[in-house]
Amino acid sequence: MEYEKPEGNIVEIFLNRTLLDGELVIPVGAQGIVVFAHGSGSSLASPRNKFVSHMLHKYHLATLMFNLLTTEEGRDSVNRFNIELLTHRLVDTTCWLIDTLKDHPLPIGYFGASTGAAAALRASVILKDKVRTVVSRGGRPDLAGNDLSSVTCPTLLIVGGNDKEVLGLNEQAMQQLSGVKQLVVIPGAYHLFEEGQELFDVAKVAAVWFSEYLKETPKQLAL
């Protein structure tokens, strides 16, 4: 696969009185864009998110990484589990992105980690067909609550095989999701997915999924 590393653009996302920092990367020939939603709010500082984003670029997918929380908000751990706040931030940022790309629109998908996965699922319900698909890495989809049964976009849940508690929560969430769904377990991996083969497997599975479901005619994917 031919690949030339694309340049990233630092962006400032103005949402009412809140300013969020982000990085927008659009490779040549991008067929879709993946918005990262990190539960701690610090998506830009996550080496795992950066690793995954690089893989997505190789698959000709654009990415938007941004901090769901301001620096001050991030100091309060309670905000990291404020799914209502995280969801509205993600919805507002997605609307900002749609407006930013109005001259060259791209199909949108979410990549959520930890509590960010719950926010991504809830945001997909609010935005409906504006969000094509959601991928969760070590996420807490259970925190999306009753909205789980209303998720209609294809959803991929990626969990470490040794992350027993989160795996159980994801298995329960799978039963509530009503649309196209799949659970992929990475053998031997724990919650954080150590850099190396484990993280590579996560990035590859996510890239293949996004590449499929951000096309115009998505179909069930066997991984």
pLDDT in tens, 76-86: 889 989 999 99
Whether residue 170 is predicted with pLDDT greater than 80 in this model: the reply is yes
Domains of the chain, earliest start first? 8-212 (3.40.50.1820)
Query: pTM score, two decimals?
Result: 0.92
Task: Give the number of other CB atoms < 10 A from CB of residue 145.
Answer: 13
Q: What is the per-residue pLDDT across 143-159, written as a single tens digit (0 to 9) for each?
A: 999 999 999 999 999 99
Q: Are 144 and 169 in contact (CB under 8 A)?
A: no
CA proximity to 134, closest of 126, 142, 145, 123: 123
Instruction: With CA atoms as reference, report the closest residue to 144 among 170, 162, 163, 111.
Output: 170
Distance between CA atoms of residues 91 and 86, nearest Å:
9
Distances (CA, A) of 204 to 57, 71, 103, 167, 208: 11, 31, 30, 20, 6
Q: How far is CA 132 from CA 18, 51, 143, 156, 188, in A?
A: 27, 22, 21, 12, 30
Nearest to 112 by CA among 85, 93, 133, 126: 133
Residue 201: helix, strand or coil by DSSP? helix
Tell me the per-residue pLDDT of 1-33, one tens digit each, with 9 for 90 and over. 455 667 778 999 999 889 999 999 999 999 999
